[in-house]
Amino acid sequence: MDQLSAISEDLAEIDGRVADNFRALSNGFQKLEKIKDSSRQSRQLEELTEKMRESKGLIKEFDKEVKALESRFDRETNKYLTEKKQSMIKELNSYVALKKQYATNIENKRIELFEGPSEGYTEENVLLASAMSNEQLMDQGNRMMDDTDQAIERGKRIVQDTVNVGTETAAALKAQTEQMSRVVNELDSIHFSIKKASKLVKEIGCY
């Protein structure tokens, strides 16, 4: 009989189920590493996620049982049980991190499928699309349409700003042209007045 069984048969039973799950997770991720087909990767990852969810529930059950019994145990026993629980959590977190890594890789491939060049779709891309649910495809399509609408609106604003700048520039040029025309007219008037005055001066000089 191991140490945990000597403490509590219930805790030992939960610990055994967690250990079985962790072995399944370890083997599952090793298998996932060898799978090249993305749709099969997604299905395998879903199965592993369910195992992790089950393991989390078992660890909570283990913790609840420890808290219910801790008043019966001495300090060393409680310390051992706490370390046991922390070890379970640490191992589970390592699998959660692996799951996030694989999920990110699969999601990146899906983004490349929708946002990459339209030419040369590979068989893998077709499999990725088939692996997505109708809801995921609809969500992705809606996001793409929203992005397109936003790009169109930005383009409209840029065009409108350009038109406004052009209109303001044209108005400024028109005002400057009108002002220059007035100046020229005034200069012509002054020139005419000077010529007229010069003529009068000459006429006066003849008398």
Q: State pLDDT tens for residues 48-57.
A: 999 999 999 9
- Output the pLDDT for position 152: 66
Does 100 have pLDDT greater than 60? yes
DSSP secondary structure letters along 86-150: HHHHHHHHHHHHHHHHHHHHHHHHHHHHHHS-SS---HHHHHHHHHS-HHHHHHHHHHHHHHHHH
Residue 148 has pLDDT above 70, yes or no: no
Residue bearing tokens 């040369």: 120
Examine the pLDDT at 172 and tell me if it is beyond 90: no
Indicate the pLDDT class of residue 118, thresholds 50, 70 and 90.
very low
| pTM for the structure as a whole | 0.51
> Which one has a higher pLDDT value, 118 or 184?
184
Distance separating alpha carbons of residues 112 and 122, to the nearest angstrom? 11
How much of the chain exceeds pLDDT 70, in percent? Answer: 71
Sign of CA dihedral 157, 159, 162, 166: negative
Which of the four pLDDT bands, split at 50, 70 and 90, describes residue 6?
Answer: confident
Whether the per-residue pLDDT at 134 is higher than 80: the answer is no
State the pLDDT at residue 180.
74
Note the pLDDT of residue 119: 45
78 pLDDT above the threshold of 80: yes
Please state, for a pLDDT cut of 90, what percent of the chain lies above it.
31
